[in-house]
Structure formats: structure tokens, C-alpha cells
Amino acid sequence: MKVGFVYDPIYLKHDTGQHVENAKRLEAIISHLEQTGLKQQLTPVKPRAASIEELSLVHHKQYISHIQGVAQKGGGWLDADTVMSPNSYEAATYAAGGTIRATEAVMNGEVGSAFALVRPPGHHATPQRAMGFCLFNNVAIATKYALAKYELERILIIDFDVHHGNGTQATFYDNLRVLYISTHQYPFYPGTGSIEETGSGAAKGTTVNIPLPAGCGDAEYLKVFEQIIVPVARWFKPRLILVSAGYDLHWADGIALMQVSVTGFTQMVKIIKGLADELCSGRLVFSLEGGYNVTALAVSVKATFDVLLGNTDIEDPLGQSPHRFATPDITPVIKAVKEIHNLV
Ligand SMILES: [Zn+2]
């Protein structure tokens, strides 16, 4: 099956200056895909801007106008972490629209799976607030779009970014058609994502948080995927899987303290692809969230595409973490998550 990728130079025009979330991230990914010849194996999917109506599937109209207004006035800081330039509003509408297009391409059968290489990222953006480098919640918007347009009964969102996707959780906290499952370093930014946050009302149980201590590596993540994510996905039976793909859990990434290698990402993506193949005819959409060591980001995204393409012999040029401290025991976390979600 064809693997789609969404990219457009508009994403480079969200100019954040010396910020860690900058255009060099996407430039590094694209140039690595070109240099390794992988780009030729992919099917380009052209993004478009999300309309106001599409953005307002998740965000309040007043908030959307506010973001548009800040861009028109030349940009500025929205909070201590999140900055806008004059072109940021347009780039953000294309980031949401790019994730929608990736979803459409998968749902229409143009491609089997797709990865939206977009920025600004989205999973911290709440219906009414920008935060954590995020303006519009790309994955949440594409999920709402797919629920409505294709009348899907259930969509699974897997968020393996090292941070908790508070905005995505907030969007679907009371929605039993969307199961949000997140692995994240905890306690850590943004502070949410405890085991006890499981959804509200009839949707109780459709938010699954797996808060992990700092220092987890490939073995710990693999355990979490095999013992929690796989059974939860099989129980939920999604019609489509979206992934908030953040690569800031790589050991070389300075923003957090996880120890995952490119080989670890390869194993995680293989499991996700296996779930999509088993549960929803392979329908799988990735959207880029974090990842701030540009070398680690580029090789990890390439490895992700390799898995989606079914390539074997996937390279890990960076190897395992050189840090030699002991990895934490996550048995208690796994046990607690299983208990609260009745997984046996
Ligand atoms: Zn992150």
C-alpha cells in the first residue's frame, strides 16, 4: 500500500526565531528523506488550509479570531513558551488542514497510511488556549472532521510524545467515540495526565493515561505498548487510528529525560501499524508533534516511514543511549493503569 506524506514550505514560515520549535526541524526531516532516497518511495499529499468551520470543530470562534488578530498585528508571545510571527496563523491553518488531508487521503483510499509533517504542533492547544508551542490542535481537528464526514463510530488517538496532550484530552474528555491514550513523562509539563484522569460521564474509560517516570527506554515503552496499548485498542475496536507522533522521548533530545532510541520508535510504530492492520483495514494517520534534536528527529521520522512502507533493515545511526543510569521499574504504573481500566 502507498504511504502518503504531507508537507508544504508554508510550514517553515511559522518563524519562531531561536525557539527550540523552529523551521530547522522540518528542514532536517525533508533533507534526510531526500538524501536517503526514501522520499521517492512516498506519495505526496498536498495540504490545504483548514477553514474556520473546520478549526471551530475544536476551537472557540473567539479564540480563532484572536490568533488571526495576533498574526495580523505582526505576531508576539501568547504565553511564556508559545510565539507567533506574521505568517503563523496561515501556517497553523495549513497544519490543521494538512492533518485533515492526510486523513482524507487514507479514508478515500488514495494511500494506505499517511504522515502529516506539519508545524506548529498541536496536542497542547485546548479549545480556547494556545500553549506549549501549539496554536490549533491538528490531531483533534482531524479526528472531529473524520467523525463527522465519514460517520466513523470510533477513533483511537495514540499520543507517544514525551509530553501529555492536555488539549487533545480536554477536547474528547466527554466523548465516548474517541479513545485518547497517552504515554508521557510525569510529573512534567503540562502537569496533566495522571492515571486517575479517565474521562467523564458516559465517556469514562475512554481517556487512558500512562504517566511514566523519567529515564524510561525502549524496554519500558515496549512493555507499555504490549501490556496496555494493544489490549486497550483491541477492546475499543477503532475504525481509524491517529497518532500524535512526538519524538522528544529520544535519548538525544534535551527537552525531556527519556532514553528511547530509533530502534525503540521502530518497535512502537510496528505495533501501531499491526493494530491498524488488525482492527481498521490499516487506516493510520500520523501527525508530527514534538522532537527537538533535529538529527534524532529526522532519523526517527525516516524509521517511521520505513515501518509504514514495510521496509526491513531499518537503520539506527544513533544507537542506544550512552547514559548508563538504571532504568526505572514501571511495574507499579502498569499495574495501576490496568486496575483503573479493568484490563486483565
Ligand atoms: Zn512534546
Grid cell, residue 211, equals 504517566
Which pLDDT belongs to residue 262? 98
What number is the average pLDDT over the span 130-149? 98
Distance from residue 249's CA to the centre of ligand 1 (Å): 8
Q: Residue 86 is placed in which grid cell?
A: 506574521
Residue whose C-alpha is closest to residue 343's, from 228, 233, 251: 228
Measure 144 CA to ligand 1 centroid, in angstroms. 22
Q: Kindly give the distance from the C-alpha atom of residue 121 to the centroid of ligand 1, in angstroms, as a whole number.
A: 9
Active site residues: 124
Terminal-to-terminal C-alpha distance of the chain: 35
pLDDT of residue 248: 98
- Which grid coordinates are listed for 273? 501499524
Q: 111: pLDDT confidence band, cut at 50, 70 and 90?
A: very high
Predicted confidence at residue 344, as pLDDT, reads 79
**Å from CA of 78 to ligand 1 middle:** 18
Q: What are the tens digits of pLDDT across the range 41-92?
A: 999 999 999 999 999 999 999 999 999 999 999 999 999 999 999 999 999 9
The pLDDT tens digits of the residues spanning 292-317 come to 999 999 999 999 999 999 999 999 99
Q: Are strands 3-6 and 43-45 parallel, antiparallel or unpaired?
A: parallel
Distance 296 CA to ligand 1 centre (A): 14
